[in-house]
């Protein structure tokens, strides 16, 4: 199965139905075929995050930041991934950047919570 759109659909379906580990397998295959497709990589990062595969999630998210440093959602996910590993000092710059890019008060509150954990 090499159709990227089908792999993406299967990955999303599994992730949304609560099976992020299976989703990650489909999405990793899609990412091999399309290594710079931000949609595929974002879904893969979410699947890794939701299955607590935080190292792989971080690697995919750093690739996404390299592809588009102005993506506030990706910065937020990277910050959350780092914070979930108790790497609050590493998470803080990503969360601050996400807050600045998005202007979202919920993201700003996450910055405050992360500061309190340091």
Question: Angle at the Cα of 81 (from 79 to 86), degrees rounded to 5?
Answer: 90
62: in domain: no
Q: What are the helix (H) ranges across 35-104?
A: 38-50, 54-67, 72-84, 88-102
On the 0-12 / 13-18 / 19+ scale of CB atoms within 10 A, 8 is: buried
Percentage above 90 pLDDT, the chain: 98
Q: Work out how many domains the chain is built from and give that number.
A: 2
Domain identity same for 5 and 41: yes
Biggest alpha carbon–alpha carbon distance for the chain: 47
**What is the rounded distance in angstroms from the CA atom of residue 8 to the CA atom of residue 26?**
7
Domain identity same for 88 and 113: yes
CB crowding 71-90: b at 16 or more within 10 Å, else e: bbebbbbbbbbbbeeeebee
- What is the pLDDT, as a whole number, of residue 2? 65
Percentage above 70 pLDDT, the chain: 98
Domain identity same for 81 and 47: no
* Single pTM value for the model: 0.92
Those residues of the chain that have pLDDT short of 50 are none
Range of the domain at 37: 1-53
């Amino acid at each position: 199965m090499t159709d990227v759109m089908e792999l993406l659909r299967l990955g999303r379906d599994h992730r949304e139905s609560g099976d992020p580990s299976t989703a990650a397998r489909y999405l990793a295959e899609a990412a091999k075929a399309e290594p710079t497709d931000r949609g595929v990589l974002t879904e893969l990062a979410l699947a890794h995050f939701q299955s607590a595969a935080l190292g792989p999630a971080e690697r995919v998210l750093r690739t996404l930041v390299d592809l588009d440093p102005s993506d506030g959602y990706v910065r937020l996910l990277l910050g959350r991934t780092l914070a979930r590993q108790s790497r609050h000092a590493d998470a803080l710059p990503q969360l601050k950047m996400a807050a600045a890019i998005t202007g979202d008060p919920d993201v700003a509150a996450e910055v405050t919570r992360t500061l309190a954990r340091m």
